[in-house]
């Protein structure tokens, strides 16, 4: 069995001045781990020849595989291709297959093809071309002293296509890879320290080749077990046994034993009851709807939302009483109760969630400071409300409100598990 280690190098000034967030690396790391290749380091560097050159040399001292993304575009700041050509001692030549592919893309888009685009078909004569079905810049594979260097464009869907079509199969063929098994569960309502104390005896008794990690995020803590071994069957059995023990220990706080989001759990529970839900969102402004509808197949259980940002929308579309809005304010138990009732009756679903709050940075008052939130969840027969006080920035307050609201609905759906909704 080969113990293969990978490094990821992402190239682009935009990563070092903070203009874009690197989402590629996380996806690549996931895919590599899944086939048994550990990523020990990731490096991000700018569009600077000397720094890229040195980074490549550094990573090749310890890594068996170096995956590079970025710097392959058609513009002057894209220097990865000539640099790699020089590094591996080749020269740039037109690749006819790539040229035809680029021409076909421009023909399909009905756009004129310029010299700059034609250059995308130049590749170092010392590499193997990895066809980029989804764009004009091809992937490139270089080999040196038994190590592999693979260059891909930084455009996420192009990189993902090349990884799936070429890189992952190629790595699996080339190496005899070990088995890495991850199992994760999600808890809500307790902190990381409390959980750690709660499971301390079990954690300390874990064998050395099984590791536990705590991943706290937005009012939830995900726990991840990772086991490494030679033989897939044995590793899976071992990790399953430990995972069952862990799940039993944290049962009171357990949301799911799958690697799925809170929104996915809610949709799954709805499907089990063949039930439907809707939302009435004020302060989250459509974010709960977005979390649900980001998931393929969500239309089965999720029917829609009234994003009632303005009070007139609360009155006109959800039937909230203007006198109560005046007397208690939009952020009140009275109003979220009317909002959730309005969602149930107007959108005609079995369940509904309503939220109203002050997300900041402005809009707070001494009685209702920024972070004050009311949530109501309801079925035909029951309404549950709760008041929260978050203390974070607008983005995080929105995310926390969505998470806590969905968790309240999850519990309500579970509590009605027996009844046909």
Q: Tell me which residues in 26-85 interact with a copy of itself (CB under 8 A).
A: 26-31, 33, 38-48, 51, 55, 58, 73-77
Helix H or strand E segment including 118: helix 115-118
Q: Tokens at residue 141, please?
A: 């594979």
290 near a copy of itself, rule: CB under 8 A: yes
- Is residue 406 within 8 A of residue 288, CB to CB? The reply is yes
279 near a copy of itself, rule: CB under 8 A: yes
Of 65, 292, 405, 413, the one binding a copy of itself (CB under 8 A) is 292
Nearest-Å Rg of the Cα atoms of the chain is: 26
Of 141, 196, 249, 384, the one binding a copy of itself (CB under 8 A) is 196
| Angle (nearest 5°) at CA 156 between 291 and 154 | 145
Residues 6+ apart with CB under 8 A from 81: 71, 72, 92, 122, 123, 124, 140, 151
184 near a copy of itself, rule: CB under 8 A: yes
State which residue, 134 or 174, has the beta carbon closest to a copy of itself. Answer: 134
388 near a copy of itself, rule: CB under 8 A: no
CA distance 184 to 189: 17
**Closest distance to a copy of itself from the beta carbon of 320 (Å):** 12
Judged by CB under 8 A, which stretch of 13-21, 83-91, 162-170, 373-381 contacts a copy of itself? 13-21
CA 280 to each of CA 41, 285, 402: distance values in angstroms, whole numbers, following the listed order: 44, 9, 12
Of 57, 89, 169, 297, the one binding a copy of itself (CB under 8 A) is 297
CA distance 2 to 38: 11
Of 307, 336, 352, 408, the one binding a copy of itself (CB under 8 A) is 307
Give the interface size with a copy of itself as a residue count (CB under 8 A): 109
3 near a copy of itself, rule: CB under 8 A: no
The DSSP output letter for 251 is G
Query: 337-366 mask for a copy of itself (x: CB under 8 A)?
Result: ---------xxx-----------xxx----
Q: Tell me which residues in 82-111 interact with a copy of itself (CB under 8 A).
A: 111
**Closest distance to a copy of itself from the beta carbon of 187 (Å):** 13
State which residue, 99 or 317, has the beta carbon closest to a copy of itself. Answer: 317
Q: Tell me which residues in 208-267 interact with a copy of itself (CB under 8 A).
A: 211-217, 222, 224, 226
308 near a copy of itself, rule: CB under 8 A: yes
**Closest distance to a copy of itself from the beta carbon of 213 (Å):** 5
State which residue, 6 or 413, has the beta carbon closest to a copy of itself. Answer: 6
State which residue, 182 or 411, has the beta carbon closest to a copy of itself. Answer: 182
Phi and psi angles of residue 141, each rounded to the nearest 5 degrees, phi first:
-115, 125
State which residue, 125 or 326, has the beta carbon closest to a copy of itself. Answer: 326
CA distance 133 to 116: 19
Identify the CA nearest to 9 among candidates 34, 45, 54, 51.
45
What's CA 259's distance to the chain center, in Å? 11
Identify the CA nearest to 38 among candidates 47, 29, 26.
29
Q: Where do the H-state alpha helices sit in 205-282?
A: 232-249, 262-272
144 near a copy of itself, rule: CB under 8 A: no
Identify the CA nearest to 214 among candidates 201, 228, 199.
199
């Amino acid at each position: 069995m080969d113990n293969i280690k990978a490094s990821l190098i992402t190239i682009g000034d935009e990563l070092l001045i903070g203009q874009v967030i690197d989402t590629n690396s996380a996806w690549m790391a996931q895919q590599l781990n899944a086939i048994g290749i550990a990523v020990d380091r990731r490096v991000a560097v700018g569009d600077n020849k000397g720094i890229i050159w040195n980074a490549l040399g550094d990573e090749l001292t310890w890594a068996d595989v170096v995956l590079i993304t970025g710097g392959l575009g058609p513009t002057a700041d894209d220097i990865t291709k000539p640099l790699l050509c020089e590094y591996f001692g080749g020269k740039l030549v037109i690749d006819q297959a790539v040229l035809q592919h680029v021409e076909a893309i421009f023909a399909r888009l009905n756009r004129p093809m310029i010299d700059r685009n034609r250059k995308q078909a130049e590749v170092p004569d010392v590499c193997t071309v990895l066809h980029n079905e989804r764009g004009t810049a091809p992937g490139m594979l270089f080999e040196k002293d038994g190590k592999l260097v693979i260059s891909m464009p930084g455009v996420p869907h192009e990189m993902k296509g090349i990884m799936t079509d070429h890189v992952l199969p190629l790595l699996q063929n080339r190496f005899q890879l070990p088995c890495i098994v991850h199992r994760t569960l999600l808890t809500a309502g307790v902190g990381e320290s409390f959980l750690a104390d709660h499971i301390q005896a079990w954690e300390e008794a874990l064998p050395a080749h099984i590791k536990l990690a705590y991943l706290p995020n937005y009012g939830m803590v995900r726990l991840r077990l990772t086991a490494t071994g030679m033989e897939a069957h044995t590793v899976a059995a071992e990790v399953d046994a430990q995972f069952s023990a862990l799940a039993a220990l944290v049962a009171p706080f357990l949301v799911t034993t799958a690697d799925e989001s809170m929104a996915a759990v809610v949709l799954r529970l709805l499907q089990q009851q063949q039930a439907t839900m809707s939302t009435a969102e004020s302060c989250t402004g459509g974010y709960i709807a977005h979390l649900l509808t980001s998931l393929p197949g969500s239309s089965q259980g999720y029917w829609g939302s009234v994003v009632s940002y303005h009070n007139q929308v609360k009155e006109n579309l959800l039937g909230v009483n203007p006198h109560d809005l005046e007397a208690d304010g939009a952020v009140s138990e009275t109003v979220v109760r009317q909002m959730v009732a309005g969602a149930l009756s107007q959108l005609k679903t079995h369940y509904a969630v309503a939220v109203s709050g002050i997300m900041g940075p402005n809009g707070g008052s001494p009685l209702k400071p920024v972070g004050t939130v009311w949530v109501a969840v309801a079925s035909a027969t029951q309404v549950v409300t709760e008041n929260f006080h978050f203390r974070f920035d607008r983005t995080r307050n929105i995310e926390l409100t969505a998470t806590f609201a969905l968790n309240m609905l999850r519990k309500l759906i579970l509590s009605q598990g027996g009844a046909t909704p």
